[in-house]
Structure formats: C-alpha cells, structure tokens
Chain A
Amino acid sequence: MFSYLPQTEKDIKEMLEVIGVDSIDELFKDIPKEILQKTPLNIPKGIAEYEVYKRMTELAQKNRQGLSFMGSGSYDHIIPSVVGHVLQMPNFYTAYTPYQAEISQGILQSIFEFQTLICELTGMEVSNASLYDDHTAASEAITMAVNTRKKADRILVSGTIHPNTRAVIETFFSDIPVKIEEIKTENYVTSLDAVKDTIDESVAAVLIQTPNFYGWAEDLTGLADLVHEHKALLIISSNPMSLGILKSQADWGADIAIGGTQPFGLSTYFGGPSVGYISTSTKNTRKMPGRIVGQTKDVDGKRAFVLTLQAREQHIKRQRATSNICSNQALAAMGSGIYLSTVGWKGLKEASSQSFQKAHYLYKRLTEELGLKAIAEQDFFNEFTLVIPDADRVLTDMESQGIFAGVGLGQFFPDLKDAVSIAVTEKRTKEEMDAYVELMKRVLK
C-alpha cells in the first residue's frame, strides 16, 4: 500500500520472532500508557501518488506568476538549464553531509570550488561552505566581530540595509549584551559623517549594504580607513550579481564580506532557499562559522578534500561554539557554484552588465517620459526606487495586467508608502520594458 514501506507480512513476522515479541506494539512498551495515542492522527489518510500530483498542481495554480520587476533581495535572473540537471544527480541531492570523506569527494570538491568562487568575486581570502541567507549571515558576521573585538559592544548598522536583515539582527542580539545602533542616512545612502560622529573604540563592527535596500550603489570611500582607525571591523553585504560590475568588498577594505547568492542559479521560490555567503581574511579563519572544506592528501598521496577546522563547530565546541549552525544550504550553494562555473567571468559580466543597462534604460524612460521622480539622485546597479503617487493602487493595477511592477516600500516603512523599488535583470527584454512603460502610463492616469 505504501511504496516507501517495503515490509511484507512475512518480513514482519520473521523480524518479530527474532526480536522475541508478539507484536510491534510491544516495542512501544516504554511509552507511559496515559500518553500513548489511542486514536489515529487527525489528518487525512495517505493518498496515491497521482492524487498528490493533482493536489500540488492545484496549489501551484493558486499562485500567479507574472512579468517580474521585483527585487528587494530576491531576483528573477536567467538560470542555465545545466544547473537543474546537475542538482538532480542522485548522489548529490540524496547525499548526507560529507563527514565520511572517502565517499563524499564529489560534494567536498564542489564545496571547495564554491568557496574559491566566492573568494574570487569578493576578493577575500577564505570563505565557508554557506550560511542560510544574507540576513542571517549578517548576525554571524557581527558575532565574528564581537568575538574578535572582545571589549567592544556597539554595532553600527546603516539605515539603508534591508529591513528584514535589520529585523533578524535585532532579534538575534536581543538577549546578548551587544547594542545595535543605526547609522544616519543622507539622501538614502549611509552618511560617512554620521559614522565619524559616533564611532569610537567601543564599536566592534560597522555593517553596510551596497547596493543598498533602495538599490543605490554606495560610495564607501574613506569608510574602511575610518572604521579601522577605531579598531572596528567593516562588514559589507552585497548582492553578488553586482560584483560583475561594481567594486568588490575587498576593494572597499571590508574585513568580512557577506550576501546572498540567490541571483546565481536559484529561482525566487517565494523566498527560499537562498544561500548566505561569508568570506574574510585568513587571520579571521578560525572565527568563521559553519563548515569549511580544505584540501589535503590521502594515504596514497592523492589529492583529497575534507571538512576541516571542525574544532570551531558546535559538534565539538558545544556551548562554547560561536555559532550553532549545522545543516547549511549545501545543495543550493552547489547550484550557485554550478551557475558561476557555467557562465564564467565573461557570462557573469554579461548578465551583470545587461541587468545594469536594462535597469538604466527603464529608469530613463520612467523618469524622463512619465515624469516620475527617484527617491534620491544616486548611482545604482539594477534596482532603483521611485516615488509613485498612490503606489498601492498602481502596483495592483499593473499586476492585474500581468506585470509585477515593483515592491511597494510602504510595507516596510509606513512613511514611504509611495516609494516603489523596481529591479530589472538581464532576463527582461526591451519589449517587456516598453510594455511596462506603456501600461504604467495608462495606469497612472
């Protein structure tokens, strides 16, 4: 009846005989009678595979797809077909964590390659095997800084980071003696002067996101020097697709580079899985959370890969571990690795620059032809924020015509209810963008 339960009546009888009991129920004798379940679980009984297929189809059809111009941390990029094919190779997705190196060289090597790719893009020296997402990566990076700068307990966080990152950090540090403070912004980018005014040696870290939540590419000139002067660590969170065109975190002088690799080979999938990346300089290696793969040799002298520096992790350090992470985003990180290996630098530059050019094309048309104003005059990568009167209605009307025109920021900041952040990727065509403009014209009237 159940195709994942191979036991036949004969099997069960034989096994019970070997065990020396008369029924399976006897094996549960240690459960106190008063809590042993006497009635079945109050959920429907099992169904046939085809019925599962129909039910899931029904659910999928209750979701609506459209032409996406939405961003805010999740982007609709082109995904090469090889990514899905590799991820479906059985010995990858049905594999366990590669603790037994001898039979896990496939996974271990792919993680080693992922770590390398992240380091190449961010310019940093070491990377781990992934964290959950960019938002939780921020908590981990701050923890690293706090553990490095033992007596410093203030963390300066830019007012332009993703509000969900801010929320995750605040919950994370709500019961730990660390103070999260917001750096004032000016014209919707971080104010260097504001950092100057408040930073001192009681600050362990400064967290910046660029491109920031509004899409603006922040000019961080002078920031690293200022932060380092006060012995603090600079943490920069970046959409890695932007690193195809924009300065890397290492170039800005960051101590820790974080972000989310969803734009690389992963669909938006209602927000998950994403993949958090974290990379830093060699001297901070032992403070990094999560799994790390290293290269070594086997007894025959052959190159081999293995999970290393495990003494940092929870299964060894337990309550003394600086992070509790065990499972990470492994398979999804592999997906991002496959993407980067497939498209290469040439392809990444192509996807990145097309995203840039197309976003600037749409921006130009919307601001020049429709007279819409940006929330600030700033440089941007592939995302920008405009002020659109009656934004909620506009977005709803555009959606009813099949275009998800942007993300209304009123849901994050009540005083920004007319702000809409619009993202464009290389996947969008001129035709689609022109249709967007035409529809927006009509809807605005």
Chain B
Amino acid sequence: MNIPGDLKYTEGHEWVRVEGNVGYVGITDHAQHELGDIVYVELPEIDTEIESKEEATNIESVKAAAPVYSPVSGKIVKINEDLEDNSELMNTDAYGAYIFAVEMSDLSELDSLMDADAYKEFLEKE
C-alpha cells in the first residue's frame, strides 16, 4: 500500500499536502481501493468556509458512497475540476488527484494529523 512520506493523514483516510498556507486534500490509496471504481465526486464550492472534520464532499462508486471530511479549517480556494469527467483519477493517481484545496486558518491543526508511519500503523490495526 502506497503511503507517501511527505503527506499528513487522517483516520478517515484523507491526505493533506501542504504548500505554504494551502492544504491540498485527497483520499488515500487504501480508501480508493475500498471504494472500487469511483464514478462521481460532488465538488464543493469555492469560497466555502469549512471546519476541520466537517464534511466537505461526497464520493461515489457503483456500490458505495463515502463522505470526505476536511482535515483542516479554512476557506476552500481551489477545486479539481478534472475530476468531474475523470473521477477515475482518484483510483489511478490517488495522491496526485487532489479534490479541493483549503487556505488554512489554523496551521497548528496539522500537528494533530498522522504522519506516514503513524498512518501505516493505523492501517495495520484496522
């Protein structure tokens, strides 16, 4: 299972890539594997204010639906419109295909997220 070392992770199987004060959010390899072929993602609206652990969007496969929670609080400043027609990118390129990006209001929230090793351990326990 692929778990890049430079990202932060949540128990809900989301990852965050930090670029300055913007956090790019996607779902992990484990999550896409569990869901199966992803057929649809409901992209959030730009400028939406979001809280950490608040539901940002929803991903669908044929047989499942999963909420995606934002790992950080802030304002949504970017969404990955590629996913509208190519939702399968989340399967083939889980860590390259971000879903939305948050201009973070509280960078210290990142400290409570898991790093790659912790996430690996977490997956082994599940």
A293-347 interface with B by 8 A CB criterion: 310-312, 316-317, 320
**How far does the alpha carbon of A81 sit from the alpha carbon of B114 in the complex, in Å?**
68
| B42 x A311 contact (CB < 8 A) | no
Q: Does B46 contact A (CB under 8 A)?
A: no
| A311 x B67 contact (CB < 8 A) | no
Question: A286-B42, A311-B40 are contacts. A320–B67 as well, Cβ < 8 Å?
Answer: yes
**How far does the alpha carbon of A320 sit from the alpha carbon of B40 in the complex, in Å?**
17
* A to B contact number (C-beta, < 8 Å): 19
| B65 x A316 contact (CB < 8 A) | yes
Query: Which A-chain residue is minimally distant from B42 (CB atoms)?
Result: A286
**How far does the alpha carbon of A320 sit from the alpha carbon of B55 in the complex, in Å?**
12
| B42 x A316 contact (CB < 8 A) | no
Contacts of B63 in A (CB 8 A): 310-311, 316
Query: Which A-chain residue is minimally distant from B65 (CB atoms)?
Result: A311
B61 touches which of A286, A311, A312 (Cβ 8 Å)? A311
| B65 x A320 contact (CB < 8 A) | yes
**How far does the alpha carbon of A286 sit from the alpha carbon of B57 in the complex, in Å?**
14
Q: Does B1 contact A (CB under 8 A)?
A: no
**How far does the alpha carbon of A316 sit from the alpha carbon of B35 in the complex, in Å?**
12
Contact with A along B51-67 (1 / 0, CB 8 A): 00000000011111101
Contacts of B65 in A (CB 8 A): 311-312, 316-317, 320
| B67 x A310 contact (CB < 8 A) | no
**How far does the alpha carbon of A310 sit from the alpha carbon of B61 in the complex, in Å?**
9
| A310 x B42 contact (CB < 8 A) | no
Determine how close the nearest CB of chain A comes to the CB of B65; give it in whole angstroms.
Answer: 4
Contacts of A310 in B (CB 8 A): 62-63
Determine how close the nearest CB of chain A comes to the CB of B66; give it in whole angstroms.
Answer: 9
Contacts of B42 in A (CB 8 A): 286
Contacts of A317 in B (CB 8 A): 65
Determine how close the nearest CB of chain A comes to the CB of B9; give it in whole angstroms.
Answer: 23
Determine how close the nearest CB of chain A comes to the CB of B48; give it in whole angstroms.
Answer: 10
Query: Which A-chain residue is minimally distant from B55 (CB atoms)?
Result: A320
A interface residue numbers (CB < 8 A to B): 286, 310-312, 316-317, 320
Contacts beyond the supplied A312-B65, A317-B65: 15 A-B pairs with Cβ under 8 Å? A286-B40, A286-B42, A310-B62, A310-B63, A311-B39, A311-B40, A311-B60, A311-B61, A311-B62, A311-B63, A311-B65, A316-B63, A316-B64, A316-B65, A320-B67
What are 18 A-B interface contacts by the 8 Å CB criterion?
A286-B40, A286-B42, A310-B62, A310-B63, A311-B39, A311-B40, A311-B60, A311-B61, A311-B62, A311-B63, A311-B64, A311-B65, A312-B65, A316-B63, A316-B64, A316-B65, A320-B65, A320-B67
